[in-house]
Amino acid sequence: NCGDIELTLDGAAAPQAVASFLQLAEKNYWVDAPCHRLTTSESLKVLQCGDPTGTGSGSPGYGFGVENAPADGVYPRGTLAMARTGDPVQGNGGQFFLVYGDSTLVDPDGYTVFGTVTSGLDIVDKIAAVGVAPGGSSPEDGIPAAPISILSVAVTEKKA
């Protein structure tokens, strides 16, 4: 609802995540889904989306394991990665995050990197600049103060 954000998916590096993303896009899983979490700390700068319930606990009803996680826990600006539960074997589902500032996520299992933001990161920057809505558990982690929702997802296949 704030403009187009374009992503390039990497099916060679993360085949399960890309297959899941494409399937959910085809089923309009994310239509009208709010991006429910913004983090603005020094070490973690992400906008999390992909839960149609907007609560952070929604799931497509299946899960899959972590793939293509950086060994050093570094997620550069523009990274597209899967959010997950604490289960590294079946914890990935439909939620994902856009990294708008170089971030470090210290987790022995990591988070699946399955693409990059190729345009529209300025939109995420604007949302992040407004910050987290008051009333959350932390002033650096919660619902974005500037609401952003996914209105539609269009997939274009890139020919080699």
- β-pair partners for 74: 104
Q: Number of C-alpha atoms within 13 angstroms, CB side, residue 152?
A: 4
Given a cut of 80, whether residue 65 has pLDDT beyond it is yes
Euclidean distance between CA atoms 160 and 31, whole angstroms: 29
* Structure-token pair, residue 111: 């988070």
Q: Does the pLDDT at position 63 exceed 90?
A: yes
Buried-state track 64-91, b at ≥16 Cβ within 10 A, e below 16: bebbbbeeeeebebbbbbbbbeeebeeb
Interatomic CA distance for residues 46 and 160, integer angstroms: 30
Please name which of 91, 119, 87 lies closest in space to residue 20, comparing C-alpha atoms: 91
For residue 18, name the pLDDT band (cuts at 50, 70, 90). Answer: very high
pTM of the model: 0.95
Question: Is the predicted pLDDT of residue 92 greater than 90, yes or no?
Answer: yes
Here the tokens at position 53 are 């319930």
Binned at pLDDT 50, 70 and 90, residue 160 comes out as low
Q: Stretch 37-49: mean pLDDT, rounded? A: 96
Structure tokens at 127: 């949302």
Neighbouring CB atoms inside 10 A of 48's CB total: 19
- Phi, psi at residue 38, to the nearest 5°? -125, 135
